Each structure stands twice: as C-alpha cells, then as structure tokens.
Amino acid sequence: MISDRRDFLLTAGKLLVLTAPAAAYLEAVETGRAEEPAYRTAEHYWGMIVDVEKCIGCGNCVRACKTENDVPLEPTFFRTWVERYHVAEGSEHPDVDSPDGGFNGFSEKYAAGDGAKSFFVPKLCNQCAHSPCTQVCPVGATFESPDGAVLVDKTYCLGCRYCVQACPYGCRFIDPRTRTVDKCNLCYHRITKGLTTACCESCPTGARQLVDLKDPKDPVHEFLRNHKVQVLKPQLATGAKVFYNGLDGSVR
C-alpha cells in the first residue's frame, strides 16, 4: 500500500525490475512468432540435395534467390546459378554456359539429335563441413554455424577477398554496396523459422531439396541410401554438404 513518496518510489522500482525480464521474455517470444517452437541450433545439421535428373533450367531458383536475399542484379554476382552442359562423345571437355547465371532461363542453343548429351546443373555454396573459406579468413568473419551453415558476419568482414580465392566452387563474391563478402547462406533467416530456402520453394520439379541431416524423419536418409550421389570436387575434401544425384563426370 502506497503511503508516502518513499514507499511509492520503492514499489515503483520493484515493479520496474520485475517487468523488465517479463518484457524481455515477451519480446523473445513475439519476434519468434509465439506459436512456433524456439529454434535450437543443436537439433539441426543442414545440407541440400540437388537432383540433376530433374533440373529443367527454368531459372526460378536464380530469380527467387535474388529476390529473397537482395542480391545485386548488376553486374554479374550470384548466390546461386544454373549451368548448362553439352557433352559431345569423345570431346576433350564439355561446352558450358550460364547466360546471366540462368536468371532468364536458357534459350535453345543446341540441335536435338547432334549426338551429345546435355543437362542443367544448379550451383550454390556447398556449406562445406571443412570449409576452406573459413580456414583462411584472417579475422573470423566467416564461419561454420553449429547447425551446419557457412555464414558471413558482414559487420566484421574486412573485404580482403582471401576467402573468395580459397573457395573451389566460385560461390563467393564481394558485394559492391557493402564492400564485404557475400554468398549463399542457405536462407538462414528462413530455415531457422521452419521454412525452406527460397530456391527450393520456387523449384517446380523438386530438383533442389533442403535437407536436415540430424532429423531422423528427413527423407534425405532414404534418398542417400537409394541413389548414387556425389559432391563437387571431392578430391579437395571440403566436406561439401550439397549432394548431387545424377552428376555426370564432366561437371566442373
């Protein structure tokens, strides 16, 4: 009961102290959408499956990624892109093209029945478990998160470009607007909210599938058992976690 000014101040102070943690709790729940369980990094280990036999080169993924992640449209920077391979029998190397990364799809360039095989290969950051880009970063601005995504700390990156040199897959670039490095971060802001990545969401054929290797119910386990899959450049032992089904030996 408030009897004088001193008591008032004491009571008000206690209320303030008590409401602060309550407010903090509410804020934490609210920003994470109250009906969704909180995301625990220890329960997940992310990867992706790319099924080359299903990719139709529509470019939906490239456009969706640029929309979702604000990737610069000009000049040529991509968090994900699609390559088209044209492999003639007995040729020394394949013909590869990726017009604007596949942003506008692929116009027909080859004639049917020319004796070659052609196919599309989507590319993205392989979220390596032993990532060479993380190894060479001088300050710790890129790192492997506990749940298996390779992320960038844009407030800490110096823009030295060593990681861009060290990535064997060419998936990193310097964003000219921030002068720091940027790359596919597996739509980390989506997957930690129970959504799938923008590229997987917009892929019409299911050629791209986000997988959670730590989830026993994830279809990835059965997929890996029943299909012959590869990672890109396995000889470099990067621990890549993007698994390609139907990957031809000519793919670079």
| Shortest distance in whole angstroms from residue 178 CB to another protein | 8
Q: Binding of another protein at residue 118 (CB under 8 A)?
A: yes
Residues 1-40 that bind another protein (CB under 8 A): none
User: What HEC string does 166-208 produce?
Assistant: HCCCCCCEEECCCCEEECCCCCHHHHCCCCCCHHHHHCCCCCE
Residue 170 in contact with another protein, rule: CB under 8 A: yes
**Contact pattern from residue 130 through residue 169 relative to another protein, giving x for each residue in contact according to CB under 8 A and a dash for the rest:** --x--xxxxxxxxxxxx--x-xxxxxxxxxxxx-xxxxxx
Q: Would you put residue 18 in left (φ > 0), alpha (ψ -120 to 50) or beta?
A: alpha
Distance CA 39, CA 76 (A): 34
Binding marks (x or -) toward another protein, 190..209, rule CB under 8 A? x-xx-xx-x--xxxxxx---
Contacts of 117 (CB under 8 A, 6+ apart): 86, 87, 248
How far is the C-alpha of 244 from the C-alpha of 241, rounded, in Å?
A: 10
- Read off the tokens for 42: 């220890």
State which residue, 30 or 108, has the beta carbon closest to another protein: 108
Considering only residues 48 to 77 of the shown chain, the ones binding another protein according to CB under 8 A are 53-60, 64, 67-70, 74-77
Q: Does 120 bind another protein (CB under 8 A)?
A: yes
- Select 3 or 126, whichever has its Cβ closest to another protein: 126
Amino acid at 171: C
Per rule CB under 8 A, is residue 98 in the interface with another protein?
yes
